[in-house]
Amino acid sequence: MEHFRIVIIGGGPIGIACGLEAKKKGLSYVIIEKGPIVNSLFNYPINMQFFSSSEKLEIDNIPFISKEAKPKRNEALEYYRRIVTSNELNIHLFERVQSVEKSDEVFRVVSNKATYTSDNVIVATGFYDLPNLLNIPGEHLPKVSHYYNDPHFYASQKLAVIGASNSAIDAALECWRKGSEVTLIIRGYEVGQRVKYWVRPDIINRIEEGSIKAYYNATVKEIRKTEIVIDTPDGEVILENDFVLALTGYMPNFEFLQNLGIALSDDEKRLPQYNPETMETNIPGLYLAGVICGGMETHKWFIENSRIHAPMIIDAIKNKAAITAKS
């Protein structure tokens, strides 16, 4: 059974940043990632372009050079992969953490492949794993997906896209341009204000010209094998339908956080408890890093503003060890 000063759960950009920082400070560590390197980014749409510019996605001051100011998914994969390989980070891929328990100031981390002990644990797992479900009849039909990858798949098909954020709008535009008959179903009265500023006018123009049909203040009531039923201000609408992309957002794995003993707020935000100066949770030695810190406020933390978590956490661990050594 291997022992580390730090076990980092999650091999996304912030988990990688934590590994880099630990290595620089001479602390033994391991990054455990359930999929490939930066698994969440790998599962982004194939043509996805970031809202942030490349320099804001950099970690550890390592330059991120992209063709355009705002890089695309494949460039980000290349960037983070090269960081991992060139720095020879200790990362275990395709390994899923199953439990974390603390006893006598030592954490016991059990995965599907091994068991580790550590003095500290950093959770940097993001929130892209669990979709916000519609909880309606037909949601689990094979034609329904909560993730979008390649527009080619939907060419010449009647496609309903549920949502009004960046993922939904990008999918609607891309699929329409590949020949899909796209219908947008938006719960609010307009396209989301957070949609990328160079994309929002595009979708509004496509809707106004009639290329993409949009239903506002609408919700999906039922999904059937060849139809979709929508509640609108003008009454129920039934549309012929081949595929549904329910891109209604994602959430952290709150059950995993609670099983770790991390306290969550009682309101709908479900904010995890942590010290904003050290990122340490209510469990001593257990830290949070990255977008998972925002609970259901998934627009609060991004790569660009959570990069600071890595040095904050590693410095806190070093300082705590120094204080303990003096006492």
CA 26 to chain centre: 29
Write out pLDDT tens, residues 157-196.
999 999 999 999 999 999 999 999 999 999 999 999 999 9
Write out pLDDT tens, residues 245-272.
999 989 899 999 999 999 999 999 999 9
Write out pLDDT tens, residues 66-85.
999 999 999 999 999 999 99
Q: pTM for the full model?
A: 0.91
Q: What is the pLDDT of residue 227?
A: 98
Residue 326 pLDDT exceeds 90: no
Residue 131's pLDDT band, with cuts at 50, 70 and 90, is: very high
Q: What is the pLDDT of residue 1?
A: 83
Residues 6+ apart with CB under 8 A from 14: 59, 124, 289, 290, 291, 303, 306, 307, 309, 310
Residue 325's pLDDT band, with cuts at 50, 70 and 90, is: low
Give the tokens for residue 266: 């009682």
Residue 99 pLDDT exceeds 90: yes
CA distance 84 to 59: 11
Residue 43 pLDDT exceeds 70: yes
Residue 327 pLDDT exceeds 60: no
CA distance 218 to 198: 25
Q: What is the pLDDT of residue 147?
A: 95
Residue 232 pLDDT exceeds 70: yes
Q: What is the pLDDT of residue 127?
A: 83
Mean pLDDT, the chain, whole residue set? 95
CA distance 120 to 46: 36
**Residue range 141-165: average pLDDT?**
97
Q: What is the pLDDT of residue 319?
A: 87
Q: Where do the domains of the chain lie, and which CATH numbers do they carry?
A: 2-130+250-326 (3.50.50.60), 133-246 (3.50.50.60)
CA distance 7 to 10: 10
Write out pLDDT tens, residues 283-296.
999 999 999 999 99
Pairing of strands 2-9, 29-32: parallel
Q: What is the pLDDT of residue 32?
A: 98
% of the chain exceeding 90 in pLDDT? 91
